A and B are shown apart, each in its own frame.
Chain A
Amino acid sequence: MRARSAWAGVRRLGWCMADKVLFEFLHTEMVAELWAPHPDPGPGGQKRSLSILESIGFRVGQALGERLPQETLGFREELDVLKFLCKDLWVAVFHKQMDSLRTNHQGTYVLQDNSFPLLVPMASGLQYVEEAPKCSVSPAPVPGLHLRPSVRHPQYPRLPELGHHLCDIPACL
C-alpha cells in the first residue's frame, strides 16, 4: 500500500520529485535493518546499532554542514547557526522549513516541527505511536557547528510533533 501511494505521488509530482520518496525508503530500510532484533546479536547488541545509526546521521550532517553554508557568509552568532539549521538544512533534507524556533536567549533553544517528514507516515494510525520515537534517526545534523540536541519524544498520539530541545550549547562556532 505504501508502494502504491508512493508511485501515485511520483506520477503526480513528476519524475524530479522521486528522490524524496527514495530517501524515505532508504531511511526506513536502514532503520529497520539496524533496529531489527538480531537472533545472534554482535558485541554491544542493539545499543551498537543505534550508535551506528546515529553516527551515519552525524557524518552526513557534517558533510551537509560544510556544503550548504558555502554560499552564505559567515555566521556571527548562535542564532545564525540555528536559523541556518531551521531554514537551509531542513529545506535541503526534508524540503520544508522548521515550523518554529524559540529561545530564551540564554543558551536554550526549542525547535518545533509539526509534521516531521520521517514520522508523518506513522501518524496515519495509532499503531506506531510507541515505535515512533525509536524509529526515527535522531537528527544530529550539526556536529560541524557543535550543538548537542536531545530529541524530545512526541507528545501527541495523532500527529507526532518533533521538538528538539537544545540546551547548554557549547557555542564552538
Chain B
Amino acid sequence: MAQIAVIAKENYPLYIRSTPMENELKFHYMVHTSLDVVDEKISAMGKALVDQRELYLGLLYPTEDYKVYGYVTNSKVKFVMVVDSSNTALRDNEIRSMFRKLHNSYTDVMCNPFYNPGDRIQSRAFDNMVTSMMIQVC
C-alpha cells in the first residue's frame, strides 16, 4: 500500500495517487497533515547553520501503520510519499532514488510547454513512472 502526492507551493495538490483505491480519503488527510511537518522541517533547516540544504527531508513522521517521507524542490513544490510500515525492505537509499525519479519526471512535466504551472498534472509519462514506482514498493 502506498501513496504519492505532489503538492504545489501554495499547498494545494497537483497530483495524488494511491493504491489501493479504497480509503483514499484517509490518505489525503495524512498528506494534508504531513504538510505541517514539511513546513516545520523547511524552516528549521533555514535557521540551522548547515552549509547547504538537502532537498530530501527524510522520514516526516511514523504512524503505527504507515511511514511518511517528504522531499521539497527549490521552487517549493513538495513530494510526499506514504508507505506501509510492514514493508521493512524499503531502505533510505531506495526512497531517495524514488524521490529523485519523481523530481526528474516533475521537471519534465514543467518543461512541457503545454502544461500550465499550477494545473493538475495529467501527463501520461508521469503516470507511468508513478505506476512503476508503486509496483516497486508494494
Residues of A within 8 A of B (CB): 59, 62-63, 65-67, 69-70, 72-77, 144-145, 172-173
B52 within 8 A of A: yes
A-B contact pairs, 18 of them (CB 8 A): A59-B113, A65-B74, A66-B75, A66-B106, A69-B74, A70-B103, A70-B104, A73-B53, A74-B45, A74-B52, A74-B53, A74-B55, A75-B53, A77-B46, A144-B75, A145-B74, A172-B76, A173-B76
Whether, in the assembled complex, B9 has its beta carbon less than 8 Å from a beta carbon of chain A, the answer is yes
* Contact A74/B117 with A66-B106, A67-B110, A173-B76 known, Cβ cut-off 8 Å: no
Partner of B74, one of A59, A63, A75, A77: A75
* Residue interface mask B105-125, A partner, CB < 8 A = 1: 011001101000100000000
Query: Chain A: which residue is nearest B112 at the CB level?
Result: A63
Instruction: Enumerate chain B residues within 8 angstroms of A75, measured Cβ to Cβ.
Output: 53, 74
Report which B residues bind A (CB closer than 8 A).
9, 45-46, 52-55, 72-76, 103-104, 106-107, 110-111, 113, 117
List, in ascending order, chain A residues with CB within 8 A of B73's CB: 66
> Which A residue's beta carbon lies closest to that of B50?
A76
Closest chain-A Cβ to B103's Cβ sits at a distance in Å of 7
- Find chain B residues with CB under 8 A from A144 CB: 74-75, 117
Beta-carbon contact of B104 and A66 below 8 Å: no
Select the residue from A65, A66, A67, A173 with max chain B CB neighbours within 10 A. Answer: A66
Query: Whole-angstrom distance from the CB of A51 to the nearest CB of chain B?
Result: 16
Determine the distance from Cα of A52 to Cα of B117 in the docked complex, in whole angstroms: 16
Is B53 a contact partner of A76 (Cβ separation < 8 A)?
Answer: yes
Cα-based distance from A74 to B74 in the complex (angstroms): 6
A39 to B40, CA, bound (A): 56
Docked CA distance A65–B111 (Å): 10
| Residue among B52, B75, B76, B110 making CB contact with A73, cutoff 8 Å | B52
Q: In the complex, A74 Cα to B76 Cα: how many Å?
A: 10
Asked if B107 and A76 sit within 8 Å, CB to CB, the answer is no
